[in-house]
Chains A and B, each alone.
Chain A
Amino acid sequence: MITKEERAKYDVVVGLEVHAQLMTESKIFSGDGNAFGSQPNTNISTISLGHPGVMPKLNKKAVELAIRMGLACNCKITRFGYFDRKNYFYPDLPKGYQMTQDKTPICVGGYVPIQGVKSQDKVTLNRIHLEEDAGKSIHVDGQPDSLIDLNRAGVPLIEIVTEPEIFSSEAAGAFLTEVRRLVRYLNVCDGNMEEGSLRCDANVSVKLKGETKLGKKVEVKNMNSIKNVMKAIDHEVQRQIHLLEKGESIVSETRTFNPDTGRTSGMRTKEELNDYRYFPEPDLSPLQVSDEWLEDIRSNMPELPSEMKERFKEQYGLNEYDASSMTDQRDLAYFFDAICGITGNYKKAANWLMGPIKSYINEHDMTFSNFPIQPAALASIIALIDEGKISYTAASQQLLPYLFENPLEDAADAAHKLNIWQESDSGSIQSIVDEILASNEDKVKQYRNGKKGLIGMFMGELMKKSKGKVDPQMANKLLRESLDAQ
């Protein structure tokens, strides 16, 4: 669509708005449940339905989770604030206004460090504020009506707003990856973009290099994965440069991303006028965050990924690469930590997770959170290998797949059942060694006369006779001893 030369003339400027549904039991202003996938209109109350005369009351946990995220993102925590009403009409917003924090967001400023992007190493935040989610509208093609499910109405959200200081789609992707990792580590949000518990809108603009004034921005919605956010930004940049190069101007509008075509298109809006007429919410008391409360929240913070990584290096002696790999995902990190509480062989635990287990998880489209084998079982597999009871090959190719199917079975029992238990009892191995030596007298003579290379042949015989079920190290040792003993 545009040439390399045309692209090179422009800078990209992106700001992101990330909505994260908080992992509370109940809603932000009422006691109806906060749960995904319930039967429509069953997690409701007179408050979330916006009945007249009802009084909302703020969920303490929601405030704490928002502050937790703010502390993790180096924000300043607002110590005295209030909520505002944002007024607009839409059928999935029963009250006709959304309760949000416009003037006094709970967290101000801050930044999120990002990895793997050459041009920038952090993204600066404008704010993180608390607000309520709206319900869901279901539009059926060809039907004259829309259906409304208000289970989501009043689900607590934080909105993380960045400064327009993201300069590439890669940086946007790296930022979202880090935000998702943080909300998961902090138990703030489950980070599931497909189910919509983590959502992202992108404000995209381009400007000629060297120009200080920002270009006209276009808001892109409806991206349900990090990959799609990146694709949408790339497409939008192409489209905008193409228009500017043709001498046309950019229309400031909201566009929707189509994941099937990878393109954005303008949204038809009935409401052209965005006039939200914010004013302080009179139904909620002001919010005051005392030193004690803030300290309590800070001291109850789960470990951050960066903290966990440093601890893994120090406590388990992992190198930088392994420590990074082990803390890449929250569930993996906790799984690894649990194994290390049992086994002393930390390096092997990391290798198992990065090797056979990760490939199994990828092949079966699983995650560490629904991984069936318990850390203790994996620790005993590692111990069995270290003790020479089973070989690594048998463990990874036979025992592991078996335990995936039978996760409750004891690893040692399973190894016996699979017939992969290695003979490491020196007595029984010795008798096989004696047998082999007795039936290969010529070769023994040659070996003893200096043809040491024959050891391979003897080992081969030994493995054949034992059907591969001897501990090779032990066998090798006994074999050498017997051969070398004149």
Chain B
Amino acid sequence: MNIDSETLQKIAHLARLELDASHEGQMKKDLEEILEWVDKLNELDTDGIEPLTNMSFEVNSLREDKVTEPLSQERGLRNAPDKEGDYFKVPKVLE
């Protein structure tokens, strides 16, 4: 399976990764290898088999609606790259 430059850049953009032109060749090759490998699965006959959505056979692993001790604001903000007062601070996003 071939990946063109446009698809490559689209995937990079969706993952918010910066991919400069000098790395495109290698990345393209790596991705194609991965896809080729995954493609092998298509050789299996999966007719009549339900898609697997979860690795466990458990269903309804639910919790009761109870409030537990929250993470303190101080601990919550501790690992943030940047903060201001009560808030996390991020580069401006405009809608």
Contact = CB atoms under 8 A, between A and B. Distances in A.
Please say whether chains A and B are actual partners in one complex.
yes
Query: Looking at chain B's contact residues, is the secondary structure mostly helix, strand, loop, or mixed?
Result: loop
A60 B88 contact: no
Chain B interface size band reads 35 or more
Interface string B49-66: 001011110111111111
A25 B65 contact: yes
A44 B86 contact: no
Contacts of A259: none
Contact of B63 (A41, A49, A57, A282): A57
B54 A286 contact: yes
Given A58-B61, A62-B65, A49 B10 contact: no
Interface residues of A, number: 55
Contact of A286 (B53, B72, B73, B95): B53
B89 interface: yes
Q: Which of B60, B88, B91 has the most CB of A within 10 A?
A: B88
B90 A146 contact: yes
A146 B63 contact: no
B84 A145 contact: yes
A150 B88 CA distance: 9
A457 interface: no
Interface stretch (A32-40, A187-195, A233-241, A395-403): A32-40
A89 B30 CA distance: 25
Contacts of A40: 73, 85-87
Contact of B10 (A41, A87, A138, A273): A273
A335 interface: no
A345 B76 CA distance: 57
A309 to B, nearest CB: 30
Contacts of B58: 285
A45 B91 contact: no
A283 to B, nearest CB: 9
Given A270-B93, A270-B94, A288-B59, A49 B70 contact: no
B23 interface: no
A57 B54 CA distance: 14
A282 B55 contact: yes
Contacts of B60: 285-288
Interface in A76-132: 82, 87, 89-91
A284 interface: yes
Interface of A: 24-26, 30-33, 39-46, 49, 57-63, 82, 87, 89-91, 137-139, 143-150, 256, 267-270, 273, 275, 277, 280-282, 284-288
Interface of B: 10, 13-14, 16, 51, 53-56, 58-73, 76-77, 82, 84-95
27 contacts: A26-B67, A32-B70, A32-B71, A33-B70, A41-B88, A45-B70, A49-B71, A49-B76, A59-B62, A59-B65, A60-B64, A87-B14, A139-B92, A139-B93, A139-B94, A147-B88, A147-B90, A148-B88, A149-B88, A150-B76, A150-B88, A268-B95, A282-B55, A284-B61, A285-B60, A286-B53, A288-B60
Give me the 7 closest cross-chain CB pairs, A-B, nearest first: A31-B68, A61-B65, A280-B53, A147-B87, A40-B86, A285-B61, A148-B88
Given A31-B70, A147-B87, A277-B14, 11 more contacts: A31-B66, A32-B67, A33-B67, A39-B86, A41-B87, A49-B71, A63-B62, A139-B94, A145-B82, A280-B53, A288-B59
